[in-house]
Amino acid sequence: MSTLFESITLRGVTIPNRVWMPPMCQYSAEPEGPLAGAPHDWHFAHYAARAAGGTGLVIVEATAVSPEGRISPYDLGLWNDTQVEAFRRITRFLGAQGTVPAVQLAHGGRKASTDRPWKGGAPVGPEAHGWQPLAPSAVAFDERHPVPSELSVDQIQEVVGQFSAAARRALAAGFEIAEIHGAHGYLINEFLSPHSNHRTDAYGGSYENRTRFALEVVDAVRAVWPEDKPVFFRISATDWLQDGGWTADDTVRFAHDLHTHGVDLLDVSTGGNVSGVTVPTGPGYQVPFAARVKAETPLRVAAVGLITEAGQAEKIVKNGEADAVLLGRELLRNPSWARHAARELGGEVRVPDQYHRSL
């Protein structure tokens, strides 16, 4: 049987296969009003299609823990109970298809308050539903972005509380797994990297200080998340800088810390925190970072990054480079990728009765 289509159990949650959907923002929520940040028909159809297509785990896009934590004004959120109720429709359907529903809890930090990518993705102000971004240090991401407001220690603790409250709402909404977004240059990643964290207090400087905020968030989420349900952490394994940034060595060290604090799986990506850096992309270009974490730490690992072919995905899991693969753009192109891969590899995947004629 195909290794890619073997189930995997994390704590008390069994995921039917190793073909997973990573968080991919849809930038389609209402920006203001009583339904701001709540999923609607587009989100339901988007996630439902991947579940019907056989994807074992769907991680719902970066979902903000506060209004100012959104990457764009059009992002989803879990800062109120109206959003909880709207998410229940999605989690119920995913579960009914045998797909495990997960959600990524996020704060955009200094990269928040930007327009939708197809509108250029530039920072937006109050006239376009925008706001003043927050960050560990008053250092802009690039020349286009405004200088963010540096968080006080009290504000840092407030954000930790927002992650905790969002996790409680995620549980009430029916999610089985909570993923903490610590990658791609958003708030937690900004604290981790010396490139973006210039603080001189207990949250900056040394490795221990720069990782303090992330571990406080993990502890806050783990404290309200049931013992029998997993917590994931998404990380950028490197800033892709020669000097002065977060490194693969830091990631391995931090993975040990995350394991001690109750994280079950590291979702390994790279980059996003440094503007203009050269990233050597190619098929599976981020897999070696995931493989190193898996080889050198006790954490389970998921790999991501230009994984497109069934044989390629099978090899990654079978060779022990990762426990699962996350297909982003490929699942946007083909919601039924898992079913097609199972047919190619000789694996088994649940097919809705309504689609029996496709077998």
Residues with a known catalytic role? 186
Contacts of 96 (CB under 8 A, 6+ apart): none
Q: Which residues contact 154 (CB under 8 A, 6 or more apart)?
A: none
Nearest Cα residue to 192 out of 170, 207, 178: 207
Q: Among 62, 59, 58, which residue's Cα sits nearest to residue 77? A: 62
What tokens appear for 177 in the block?
A: 């797994």
What values do phi and psi take at 18, rounded to 5?
-105, 15
CB atoms within 10 A of CB 42: 11
Give the whole-angstrom CA distance, residue 62 versus residue 90.
Answer: 15
Cβ neighbors of 11 (< 8 A, separation 6 or more) are: 227, 228, 229, 230, 264
What letter represents residue 153's amino acid?
V
Q: How many CB atoms lie within 10 A of CB 262?
A: 16
User: How far, in Å, CA of 132 to CA of 114, rounded?
Assistant: 11
Tokens of 197: 């964290």
Q: CA 273 to CA 168: how far, in whole Å? A: 28
The answer to whether the CB of 155 falls within 8 A of the CB of 134 is yes
CA atoms of 162 and 156, how far apart (whole Å): 10
CA 17, CA 231: separation in Å to the nearest integer?
18
Here the tokens at position 296 are 């050198």
Whether 290 contacts 303, CB under 8 Å: yes
